[in-house]
Amino acid sequence: MKQELIFLGPPACGKGTQTEKLAKYLNLPHIDTGSLLRAEIKKQTPEGKLADSYISKGQLVPVDLVGKIIGLRVEQEDCKNGFILDGYPRSIEQAEILEKINQKINKNVETDFRAIYFDVDKDVLLSRIVNRRSCPKCGTIYNVKYHPPKADGICDECGTALVQRADDTEEIAKKRFETYFEQTAPVIDFYKSRNVLRTLDAHGSIDEVWERLKEAVK
């Protein structure tokens, strides 16, 4: 059976880390919307050029164009057994576009579609964000409170000095939460009404959440 999974959750809920682990575990492609758009722009595909014309002006890429790029990606051969979508959909409109994409690509194909919602308290999310540090060289992410490096401020993997993202401040984090819950949270109800939503307790360590996630996708 073809398995299609989408991950929903606010900033710092941990879905990015778990998506990478699950993609390897299930041997399914991990499709990150942001990375996909950047790849299309780099390859200078017709869709990529059009997306770049908006991004270069500081504008949002139209939902129809993002949907077309997603649709082309999930039609590729490596997605024949399924895929994991991260960062899409972010709105009811995008969720409806994804439904149309699936209706097109899954004709006469038995499919198990699930939306996994990473549920975490706002206070925990805020603490994760303001204490987050990352390696500018290899990309490894740490948390000075929950998952600190062995040497203070130094990456365990490559020895590079860690940095804090400019938007990892309490003020900006709170605004990001407001935006998320206003725009994306309704998608949770959208999938709940279709009986495909699985709510995951995303508190605790990476390993604890991982064990719960494996159960949620069985």
- Any catalytic annotation for residue 90? yes
**What pLDDT, in 10s, does the model give residues 119-147?**
999 889 999 899 999 999 998 889 998 88
Helices and strands (H, E) in the chain, number of each type: 9, 7
pLDDT tens, residue by residue, 137-184: 998 889 998 889 999 999 999 999 999 988 888 888 888 888 888 888
Task: Say which of 176, 198, 212, 214 is annotated catalytic.
Answer: 176
Q: CA angle at residue 116 from 111 to 119, to 5 degrees?
A: 170
Say which amino acid occupies 39: A
The pLDDT score that the predictor gives to residue 166 is 83
Class of 2-121+178-216 in CATH: alpha beta
165 catalytically annotated: yes
Known catalytic residue at 176: yes
Q: Of residues 21, 90, 212, 214, which has the active-site annotation?
A: 90
Catalytic residue flag (residue 15): yes
Question: Domain map of the chain by residue range?
Answer: 2-121+178-216
Residue 212 annotated among the catalytic residues of the structure: no
Q: What is the pTM of this model?
A: 0.82
Alpha carbon distance 34, 2 (integer Å): 24
Question: CA-CA distance, 144 to 99, in Å (whole number)?
Answer: 40
